[in-house]
Amino acid sequence: MAVARLSAPSSTLGEALAWARQRLAEAGIEEAGLEGEVLLRHALGLDRAELYANLGRAITAAQWARLRRLVRRRSSREPLAYILGRWEFYGLEFRVTPAVLVPRPETELLAEEALRWASRRFSPATPLAIADVGTGSACIAVALAAGLPQAAIYATDTSPQALRVAWGNVQRHGLTGRVRCLMGDLLMPVPRPVDLIVANLPYVPEGEVPQLQPEIAQHEPCAALSGGPDGMVLLRRLLAQAPAWLRPRGALMLEMDPRQHRALEEHARGCFPGATVHMVRDLAALPRVLVVETP
* Per-position DSSP letters for 149-207, written without gaps between them: TTEEEEEEES-HHHHHHHHHHHHHTT-TTTEEEEESSTTTT--S-EEEEEE----B-GG
Cα–Cα distances (Å) from 233 to 45, 131, 132, 190, 282, in that order, read 44, 19, 18, 20, 23
Q: How many residues does the chain have?
A: 295
Amino acid 124: pLDDT:
87
Along the chain (295 residues), what's the average pLDDT of each consecutive run of 10 residues? Answer: 46 94 96 97 95 94 94 97 97 97 96 96 92 98 96 97 98 97 98 98 96 95 95 97 96 97 96 96 96 95
Amino acid 22: pLDDT:
96
Domains and CATH numbers, the chain: 3-76 (1.10.8), 87-293 (3.40.50.150)
The Cα–Cα gap between 271 and 223 comes to 25
Amino acid 98: pLDDT:
97
Residue 272 makes CB contacts below 8 A (sequence gap 6+) with: 239, 242, 243, 252, 292, 294
Amino acid 123: pLDDT:
87
Amino acid 10: pLDDT:
56
Burial (CB < 10 A; 0-12, 13-18, 19+), residue 263, is middle
Smallest CA-to-CA distance from 73 within 212, 210, 215, 213 is with 215
Residue 13 makes CB contacts below 8 A (sequence gap 6+) with: 40, 44, 51, 54, 55, 56, 57, 58, 59
The Cα–Cα gap between 10 and 46 comes to 18
Rounded to 10 degrees, the C-alpha dihedral 218/223/224/230 comes to: 100
Smallest CA-to-CA distance from 37 within 230, 241, 25, 88 is with 25
End-to-end Cα spacing for the chain = 70
> How many CB atoms neighbour CB 83 within 10 A?
17
What percent helix, strand, coil does the chain show, rounded to 5?
Answer: 45, 20, 35
pTM (two decimals): 0.92
The Cα–Cα gap between 124 and 131 comes to 18
The Cα–Cα gap between 139 and 213 comes to 22
Residue 12 DSSP class: B
The Cα–Cα gap between 162 and 150 comes to 26
* Beta carbons of 35 and 215 less than 8 angstroms apart: no
Smallest CA-to-CA distance from 140 within 280, 254, 247 is with 254
Smallest CA-to-CA distance from 261 within 238, 241, 231 is with 231
Amino acid 6: pLDDT:
47
